[in-house]
Amino acid sequence: MTPEDFLTQYVAALETQNWDVVAPLIHPDCVAVFTEDTFKGKAAVEGAFRKTFALIKDETYSIDNLHWVLQRDDVAVVTYHFHWSGVIHGQSASGGGRGTATLVYADGRWLLLSEHLGPNPR
């Protein structure tokens, strides 16, 4: 599997809105930086994802404008635009922004080590 393949698999896993599908793709020491806070460690990241999955119903999620900053045999860094839409409290909602992900190759597979999602710069 290449880093590109991993990222495709990660986006597909997010769209399931099921932590049990996402969890195998997350490194134990993952750090996720989202608008509301920074989550350190897989358990904290799990809590953030579960909260989002519970809030946004019928979510669709996509990324584009990928720029691979670094690709080596054991690490890859990518920036991208992300887009989401779904239903929050019965109302259609959508958003997006910029993301950066760090992937590491460990134990024979690619894992998400860090992800930083934020608004589009003005």
Distance in Å from the first CA to the final CA of the chain: 35
According to DSSP, the β-strands at 91-106 and 75-88 are antiparallel
Torsion of CA 54, 55, 59, 64, to 10 degrees: -110
What pLDDT is recorded for position 122?
66
CB 71 within 8 A of CB 87: no
What pLDDT is recorded for position 120?
80
Number of domains in the chain: 1
Q: What is the CATH number of the domain that holds 53?
A: 3.10.450.50
d(CA 113, CA 104): 6
Checking if the pLDDT of 119 tops 90, the result is: no
What pLDDT is recorded for position 35?
86
3-class DSSP assignment, residue 47 = helix
Range 36-65 average pLDDT: 95
What pLDDT is recorded for position 121?
74
Range 31-44 average pLDDT: 95
Cα-based distances in Å from 39 to 26, 44, 58, 77, 107: 13, 5, 24, 19, 23
Q: Rounded mean pLDDT of the chain?
A: 95
Facing residues of 60 across strands?
85
d(CA 104, CA 114): 9
Checking if the pLDDT of 55 tops 90, the result is: yes
Q: Return the percentage of the chain with pLDDT > 90, whole number.
A: 93
Domain limits for position 7: 3-118
